[in-house]
Structure 1
Amino acid sequence: MNPTAFPADDLIAKYNRPGPRYTSYPPATHFSAEVPQESLLEEVRAGEGPLSLYLHLPFCESLCWFCGCHTITTTNHDRADAYIDELEKEIALFTPLLKPGRRAAQLHFGGGTPNFFTPAQLDRLGTLLRQHFTFEEQAECSVELDPRRLTREHVEAFARMGVRRASFGVQDCDPQVQEAIHRIQSPETNRQCVAFLRETGFTSLNIDLVYGLPRQSPDSFKKTLDEVLALEPERFAIFNYAHVPWIKPAQKILEKAGLPTPQTKLALLRLIVETLTEAGYVYIGMDHFARADDELAVAQRAGTLQRNFQGYSTRAGLDICGFGISSISQTADSYRQNVKALDDYRAHLAEGKLPLERGYILTGEDKLRREVITRLMCDMALDFTAISERHGIDFREKFAPALRELDTMAADGLVELQPTGLRVTDTGRFFIRNLAMCFDPAIQSNENRYSKTV
Structure 2
Amino acid sequence: MKIPVDLIEKYNVPVPRYTSYPPANFFEDSFGTADYLKAVEQSNGEKPENISIYIHVPFCTQLCLYCGCNTHITRDRELMRSYVDALKKEIRMIRPLLDKSRKVSQIHWGGGTPNALPSSQIGEIMDILTSEFEFIDKPEIAIECNPASLDEMYIADLASFGFNRISMGVQDFREDVLNAVHREVPVIPIEDLVKMIKSHPGMSVNLDFIYGLPFQTGESFSQTIARAIEISPDRLVTFSYAHVPWVKKAQQKLEEYGLPSADEKVKMFETSWAQMKAAGYVPIGLDHYARPEDDMSKALQTRTLHRNFQGYCTRETTGQVYAFGVTGISQLENVYAQNARTVKEYLEYIDKGEFLVVKGYSLTPTEKVIRQIINEIMCNQYLSWTKIGAYFNQDPKEIKKLLNFSNEKLDPFVADNLLEYNDDEIIIYDLGRFVLRNIAAIFDIHVGDPNRKFSKSV
What is the TM-score of this pair, normalised by structure 2? 0.93
Deviation of 1:305 after TM superposition, in Å, equals 0.4
Paired with 1:314 and 1:226, the residues of 2 have a C-alpha distance of 28
Deviations 1:198-227 (A, max 9, x none): 123353211101111111111111211111
Matches within 5 A, 1:19-418: 19-48=15-44, 49-185=49-185, 188-315=188-315, 318-389=319-390, 390-394=393-397, 395-401=399-405, 403-418=407-422
Amino acid across the alignment from 1:268: M
Paired with 2:388 and 2:51, the residues of 1 have a C-alpha distance of 27
Amino acid across the alignment from 1:200: H
Amino acid across the alignment from 2:224: T
Give the share of equivalent positions with the same residue, in percent. 36
Gaps of 5+ in 1: none
Deviations 1:140-196 (A, max 9, x none): 211111111112222122212210111001111122212211124258521232122
User: Could you say if the C-alpha distance between residues 329 and 402 of structure 1 is closer, same or farther in structure 2, counting changes exceeding 3 Å?
Assistant: farther
Deviations 1:51-90 (A, max 9, x none): 1111011111111111111111112233221111111221
Contact in 1 for aligned 2:217/2:268 (Cα 8 Å): yes
Amino acid across the alignment from 2:6: D
Paired with 1:337 and 1:50, the residues of 2 have a C-alpha distance of 20
Paired with 1:75 and 1:35, the residues of 2 have a C-alpha distance of 33
Deviation of 1:361 after TM superposition, in Å, equals 1.6
Matched, 1:14 2:10: yes
Matched, 1:445 2:449: yes
Compute the RMSD of aligned alpha carbons.
1.9
Q: Kindly tell me the number of residue pairs found equivalent between the two proteins.
A: 450
Paired with 1:184 and 1:84, the residues of 2 have a C-alpha distance of 24
What is the TM-score of this pair, normalised by structure 1? 0.94
Farther off after superposition, 385-394 or 358-367: 385-394
Contact in 1 for aligned 2:281/2:289 (Cα 8 Å): yes
Contact in 2 for aligned 1:119/1:153 (Cα 8 Å): no
Paired with 2:362 and 2:82, the residues of 1 have a C-alpha distance of 33
Farther off after superposition, 304-313 or 383-392: 383-392
Paired with 2:383 and 2:24, the residues of 1 have a C-alpha distance of 24
Amino acid across the alignment from 2:441: M
Deviation of 1:41 after TM superposition, in Å, equals 1.7
Farther off after superposition, 198-207 or 226-235: 198-207
Paired with 1:402 and 1:155, the residues of 2 have a C-alpha distance of 52
Paired with 2:88 and 2:400, the residues of 1 have a C-alpha distance of 50
Contact in 2 for aligned 1:91/1:323 (Cα 8 Å): yes
Deviations 1:13-43 (A, max 9, x none): 1111111221211111111121253333222
User: Could you say if the C-alpha distance between residues 431 and 123 of structure 1 is closer, same or farther in structure 2, counting changes exceeding 3 Å?
Assistant: same
Deviation of 1:368 after TM superposition, in Å, equals 0.9
Deviations 1:387-435 (A, max 9, x none): 2454223055444446433222222222223222221122211000000
Contact in 1 for aligned 2:33/2:356 (Cα 8 Å): no
User: Could you say if the C-alpha distance between residues 148 and 36 of structure 1 is closer, same or farther in structure 2, counting changes exceeding 3 Å?
Assistant: closer
Paired with 1:135 and 1:311, the residues of 2 have a C-alpha distance of 20
SS of alignment partner, residue 430 of structure 2: coil
Contact in 1 for aligned 2:52/2:107 (Cα 8 Å): yes
Farther off after superposition, 188-197 or 16-25: 188-197
SS of alignment partner, residue 226 of structure 1: helix
Paired with 1:79 and 1:315, the residues of 2 have a C-alpha distance of 37
Farther off after superposition, 181-190 or 292-301: 181-190
Gaps of 5+ in 2: none
Contact in 2 for aligned 1:170/1:185 (Cα 8 Å): no
Paired with 1:450 and 1:245, the residues of 2 have a C-alpha distance of 11
SS of alignment partner, residue 104 of structure 1: strand
Deviation of 1:355 after TM superposition, in Å, equals 2.1
User: Could you say if the C-alpha distance between residues 363 and 182 of structure 1 is closer, same or farther in structure 2, counting changes exceeding 3 Å?
Assistant: same
SS of alignment partner, residue 213 of structure 2: coil
Amino acid across the alignment from 1:13: E
Contact in 2 for aligned 1:170/1:208 (Cα 8 Å): yes
SS of alignment partner, residue 355 of structure 2: coil
Amino acid across the alignment from 1:433: R
Paired with 1:397 and 1:387, the residues of 2 have a C-alpha distance of 14
Amino acid across the alignment from 1:414: L
Contact in 2 for aligned 1:173/1:186 (Cα 8 Å): no
Paired with 2:3 and 2:394, the residues of 1 have a C-alpha distance of 35
Contact in 1 for aligned 2:366/2:402 (Cα 8 Å): no
Contact in 2 for aligned 1:372/1:382 (Cα 8 Å): yes
